[in-house]
Each structure stands twice: as C-alpha cells, then as structure tokens.
Amino acid sequence: MKHQQYETWILLGTELDLEQHRELQVHLKQCSQCQSLYQATHQIAHLFKTSPVPEPSPGFSTRCMTRIEKVETRKSQFILGMTLSVISLATLLLLSSVGLQIRAGMAQFPQLMLEMITLVAKWIVFLNQLSHIVSPLIRVSLKLISPIWLITLGFSLSGITIAWMIPFFKSRTIQRELHS
C-alpha cells in the first residue's frame, strides 16, 4: 500500500481493524516520516487533552444577563420610537383630511360633526388594525433588517408624506388668495 494511505490513517485518526493496525505498525518501522508524523499527532492529542479547560471569570452569567437586558431595552426603545413616528404620521394625515372637510362643509355643521365622528372612529379602527399588522412585522423585520435600514425607511416615508403635504398646502394658499 502507498505511503499516502498511512498518512491519511494517521492524520484522520481513522479507526483501524486489527489487520490494518498491524500493517500500519510494520510501515511505521520502515518509514521515519510516518513514524514522526504518528508521534507528533499523538503528542498533540495528549497536549490538547491534558491542557486546562479555560473558564469564564466568576459572575459571567450575571454580566451576560445584564447585557441581554440592555440590548432588549434598546430594542424596545427603538420599537417605541418607530411606533410613535407611525402614529404621528397617521395623525398628521388625519388632521389634514379633517381640515379639508371643514373647509368644504362650513355651511352644514351638523353633518360635518357626524362625518368627523365617523372619520375619527374609522381612523381608530384603522390604527388598531395597523398595529396588529405592524407590531409582528417590526418584530420580524428587526431580526432581519439592520436598524439603520429601518431608520432610513422611516425617514423616507416621512419625506414622502411631507412632499405630498406641501402641494396640498400650496393649493390651499392659492385658493385663499383667489377668494380674497
């Protein structure tokens, strides 16, 4: 058998049957290269097995749990921040749409009140549904997406809304100027 096969046996620590073991011993007596490889491998294994096991310094689990606590707090603060910004955005949208209705129907006050109550109720239902969808979504996305991307997403959403609001207010000003 080739020298290479013995090397593989030695280096992979292959379990050998009696015949193979005898064969290897015969080869080791003839081949100094395999002999020293065999010795080195055994000495390394012995060194590894007899070395002290590294142990963490006392209080490891307490330090670890404190760190977990900190990470969790930071995460919930982030979720809270995101939720608040979503709610503020929604409120902004609600107020702007209510404003639109007030302008359109100043003459019919009772209907307007009814419409406003319906609108607010609809918004509450909508926000409630939204929170059911958004909260698990945030939980999952926090694990998948890095916080930087989420912040970027938040900012771009607010940007889009502001960009959408500007022409609306502009048109209102123009309308007012035309009336006067």
Partner 1 sequence: MCNTEQQWIAAAKTGDKDAFAKLVEKYQRPVYSVCYRMLGTPTAAEDAAQEAFIRAYQALDQYDISRSFATWVLSIASNYSIDQLRKKKVTILSMDNEKHAWLAPPDPGPSPEKAALQREKLGQIQSLLTDLNEVDRAAIILQYWHDYSYEEIADTLDLSSSAVKSRLFRARRLMAEKWQKMQLPSTAPVNSTAKRIAHETSTI
Measured CA to CA, the distance from residue 64 to residue 66 in angstroms comes to 5
Binding positions for Zn ion, 119-148, rule CB under 5 A: none
Q: Is 34 in the site for Zn ion (CB under 5 A)?
A: yes
**CA 165 – CA 97 distance, rounded (Å):** 11
Contact at 8 Å (CB) between 161 and 92? yes
Collect all residues with Cβ–Cβ distance below 8 Å to 90 and sequence separation of at least 6.
123, 126, 127, 130
Nearby residues of 126 by Cβ (< 8 Å), 6 or more positions away: 90
Which residue among 39, 108, 111, 171 contacts partner 1 (CB under 8 A)? 39
Select the binding partner of residue 84 from Zn ion, partner 1, none (C-beta < 5 to 8 A, by kind): none
Helix (H, G, I), strand (E, B) or coil at 107: coil
Q: Find the binding residues for partner 1 in span 54-113 (CB under 8 A).
A: 54-57, 60-61, 63-65, 67-69, 71
User: Which residue's CB is nearer to partner 1, number 140 or number 162?
Assistant: 140
Q: Which residue in 3, 21, 22, 46 binds partner 1 (CB under 8 A)?
A: 46
Piece of 48-56, 88-96, 125-133, 162-170 that binds partner 1 (CB under 8 A): 48-56
> Residue 54: left (phi > 0), alpha (psi -120 to 50), or beta?
beta
Q: Which is nearer to Zn ion, 16 or 80 (CB)?
A: 16
Binding residues for partner 1, rule: CB under 8 A, are: 7-8, 11-12, 36-37, 39-57, 60-61, 63-65, 67-69, 71, 143
